Structure 1
Amino acid sequence: MTADVMTTLRAFYAAEAAYLTEGAGFEHMARHLDPDIVMYQASSLPYGGEWRGHDGFRDFIAAMGENWDGLWFDEQHFVSDAERVVVYSRGRLRARRTGRTLETSLLQWITFRDGLITAFRPYYHDTTAVLAALAGE
């Protein structure tokens, strides 16, 4: 993985966490995203589906922010071949409505083009636990 791709990904993750925990602006994330970015989310989640382009990604991140008010990565590992990265993340999210903290892990398949992120495909360890944290179960 090139240093530029790794720098882009780490900067994006920091901007995403700042958005969810500190109310930072979307533009801090957008500078790392290709104009045709696609975010794929499990359809069972409240923010599930495909979110396309900067406007779609902004809508996705707003939907995430409606559900979560905290995001912390406790562990991350990266594997890459050229312009694809797989990231294992273990961390915590805090549900906005319930205040419940979910400790979980996920894998993300992330693609890049010209130093920008073109797609995220997250694979959650347990979407049932995600839904339970959001519902307060």
Structure 2
Amino acid sequence: MSTGQVAPENARAFYGFVENFLGGNVDAALEFIHPDVLAHEPPALPYGGEWKGKDGFRALMEMIGATVEVEATPIGLHDAGDTMIAIFNAKFTSRASGASVEMPVCEVYGFTDGLISNVNVFYKDPCEFAERISGV
């Protein structure tokens, strides 16, 4: 297991991605994404599953943006060498119904060549999210 400080280029990619994604700038957010990225979203979500490559990642970000408005406040950031773990308090508001849900979300980021190459996302209660946002 690797421990230590995140490399400056990895921190730059993480902060650049998060700032641009939450700001709604998909093109700028993609500048910090590795061409072979793999993202994992909980299967219960409307955009759940694996998303591969930059085109897949773009599709994921666009689907998230079309499904919900996201407000996120970071409450913890932990580094372990080539991995960053970010914990957010997040509020998701459905664009279709206006229903909202708040919960902690943990995201684990891996890096290759100073770009985000792997993202694993963990919602505190993905079933509650699906129920409130998707009406499932």
Q: TM-score, normalised by structure 1?
A: 0.87
Q: Does 1:13 align with 2:18?
A: yes
User: Which 5+ residue runs of structure 2 have no aligned equivalent?
Assistant: 1-5
Aligned to 2:71: 72
Aligned to 2:27: 27
After superposition, residues 87-102 of structure 1 pair within 5 angstroms as: 87-102=86-101
Q: TM-score, normalised by structure 2?
A: 0.87
Aligned to 2:39: 39
Structure 1 consecutive aligned stretches of length 4 or more whose deviation exceeds 4 Å: none
Identity of aligned residues (%): 21
Number of aligned residue pairs: 131
Structure showing greater relative contact order (alpha-carbon pairs closer than 8 Å, 6 or more residues apart): 2
Deviations 1:21-64 (A, max 9, x none): xxx3x221110000001111111211111100011011111211
Q: Please tell me whether the aligned partners of residues 111 and 117 of structure 2 are also in contact (alpha carbons under 8 angstroms).
A: yes
Q: Does 1:55 align with 2:55?
A: yes
CA RMSD of aligned residues (A): 1.6
User: Which 5+ residue runs of structure 1 have no aligned equivalent?
Assistant: none
2:60 maps to amino acid: F
